Structure 1
Amino acid sequence: MVKLKGKAASVVFDQVSKIYPGATTPAVNDVSFEIDAGSLVTLLGPSGCGKTTTLRMIAGLEMPTSGRVLIGGSDVTPLPATERDVSMVFQSYALFPHMTVLENVSYGLRFSGYPKREIATRAADGLALVGLTGFEARFPSELSGGQQQRVAVARALVLEPQVLLFDEPLSNLDAKLRRRVRDEIRELQQKLGLTVVYVTHDQGEALAVSDRIIVMDRAVIAQQGTPQELYDAPATAFVADFIGESNILPCEIIAVNGGTANVRLGPVALALPARGLRPGPARLAVRPHRVRLAAADAPNALPATVAKSTYAGSHLEVAVTTELGALFVVSPETGTPLAPGASVALVIPTEGTVLLVA
Structure 2
Amino acid sequence: MIKSNAASVEFRDVTKVYGKSPVPAVNNVSLFVEAGKLVTLLGPSGCGKTTTLRMIAGLEMATRGHILIGGADVTHLPATDRDVSMVFQSYALFPHMTVNENVEYGLKFSGFAKREIGDRARAGLELVGLGGYGNRLPSELSGGQQQRVAVARALVLEPQVLLFDEPLSNLDAKLRRRVREEIRDIQTKLGLTVVYVTHDQEEALAVSDRIIVMNNAVIAQDGTPRELYDAPADAFVADFIGEANIFDCEIASVDGQLANVRLGGFETQLDARGMRPGPAKLAVRPSRIQIRTVGAPSTIPGRLDKVTYVGSDLEFMIGTEFGEVFAVSSDVDAPFVPGQDVGVGFAARGPVLIRA
Task: Say if 1:17 and 1:65, in contact at 8 Å, map to a contact too.
Answer: yes
Q: Does 1:275 align with 2:273?
A: yes
Output the amino acid matched with 2:251: I
Q: Equivalent residue of 1:345, what SS?
A: strand
Once the two structures are superposed, the pairs formed by residues 194-205 of structure 1 within 5 Å of their partners are 194-205=192-203
Q: Deviations over 1:106-164 (max 9, x none)?
A: 00000222211111111111111111111111111011101100100000000000000
**Is residue 2:323 matched to residue 1:330?**
no
Q: 1:295 aligns with which of 293, 296, 317?
A: 293
C-alpha distance in 1 between matches for 2:223 and 2:292: 34
Q: Amino acid of the residue matched to residue 354 of structure 2?
A: L
Among residues 31, 36, 43, which one is paired with 1:33 in the alignment? 31
Is 1:90 the counterpart of 2:72? The answer is: no
What's 1:319 paired with?
317
What do the CA deviations read for 1:5-34 (whole angstroms, capped 9, x no partner)?
A: 110000001010111013221110111110
Write the distance in 2 (CA, Å) between the matches of 1:267 and 1:223: 32
**1:11 — aligned with what?**
9
- Cα displacement (A) at 1:337: 4.1
Deviation at 1:178, TM superposition (A): 0.6
**Alpha-carbon RMSD:** 1.1
Q: What residue number does 1:149 align with?
A: 147
Size of the aligned set, in residue pairs, is 356
Task: Report the equivalent of 1:260.
Answer: 258
SS at match of 1:231: helix
Specify every segment of 5 or more residues in structure 2 that has no aligned partner in the other structure, as ranges.
none
Deviation at 1:313, TM superposition (A): 2.7
Pairs within 5 Å for 1:218-233: 218-233=216-231
Q: Corresponding residue for 1:305?
A: 303
* Corresponding residue of 1:211: 209
Q: Among the aligned pairs, what percent are the same residue?
A: 68
What corresponds to 1:60 in structure 2? 58
Quote the offset at 1:279 in angstroms. Answer: 0.4
Whether contact under 8 Å (2:289, 2:350) holds in the other structure is no
Q: Is the 8 A contact 1:307 1:321 kept in 2?
A: yes
> Whole-Å Cα distance in 1 between the matches of residues 152 and 311 of structure 2?
40
Specify the alignment match of 2:249 in structure 1.
251
Partner SS state of residue 288, structure 2: coil
Counterpart AA for 2:235 = A
For residue 340 of structure 1, report the CA deviation from its aligned partner: 2.8
Partners of 1:126 and 1:175 lie apart in 2 by 25
- The aligned amino acid for 2:71 is G
Task: Report if aligned partners of 2:9, 2:68 keep a CA contact under 8 Å in 1.
Answer: yes
Task: Spell out the pairing of 1:19-168 with structure 2 (5 A cutoff).
Answer: 19-168=17-166
Shift of 1:184: 0.5
**1:147 aligns to what SS in structure 2?**
helix
Q: Name the SS of the counterpart of 2:59 in structure 1.
A: coil
Deviation at 1:245, TM superposition (A): 0.6
Q: 1:174 aligns with which of 172, 175, 178?
A: 172
AA at the equivalent of 1:248:
I
Query: How high is the TM-score relative to the length of structure 1?
Result: 0.97
- CA deviations on 1:229-264 (whole Å, 9 max, x unpaired) are 000010111111111111001111111111111111
Q: Does the residue aligned with 2:105 lie in a helix, a strand or coil?
A: helix
User: Tell me, which stretches of 5 or more residues in structure 1 are unaligned?
Assistant: none
Question: Take 2:108 and 2:351, find their aligned partners in 1: how far apart are those partners?
Answer: 55
| Normalised TM-score (structure 2) | 0.98
How far, CA to CA, are the matches of 1:77 and 1:343 in structure 2? 61
Tell me if the contact between 1:15 and 1:66 (Cα under 8 Å) persists in the aligned partners: yes
Q: Quote the Cα distance in structure 1 between the aligned partners of 2:332 and 2:210.
A: 35
Cα separation, 1, equivalents of 2:298 and 2:279: 20
Distance 1:4 1:315 in 2: 43
**Match for 1:223: what amino acid?**
Q
State the partner residue of 2:284. 286
SS at match of 2:326: strand
> Partner letter of residue 213 of structure 2?
V
